[in-house]
């Protein structure tokens, strides 16, 4: 495999993951993709307001997240 894409990630059903820096950037995208793959994602951030925005955005894009 030459590159890493969300299609390369297997099902994460039943797994719990912690993603740091998940209110924006790579951390946000990782949290979203892992949610899409079925993981229960715990986001770790420093800013509660940004965290709420990230959670809302992920739940909007990933039903059941």
Residue 57 CB: number of other CB atoms within 10 A? Answer: 15
Residue 1 has pLDDT above 70, yes or no: no
- pLDDT band (50, 70, 90) for residue 4: confident
Residue 55 has pLDDT above 80, yes or no: yes
Nearest by Cα to 55 from 13, 35, 37, 46: 35
Helices (H), 1-65: 25-36, 48-61
């Amino acid at each position: 495999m030459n590159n890493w894409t969300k299609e390369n990630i297997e099902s994460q059903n039943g797994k719990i993951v912690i993603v740091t820096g998940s209110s924006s950037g790579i951390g946000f995208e990782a949290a979203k993709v892992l949610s899409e793959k079925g993981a229960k994602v715990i986001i770790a951030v420093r800013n509660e307001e940004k965290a709420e925005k990230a959670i809302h955005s992920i739940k909007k894009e990933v039903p059941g997240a």
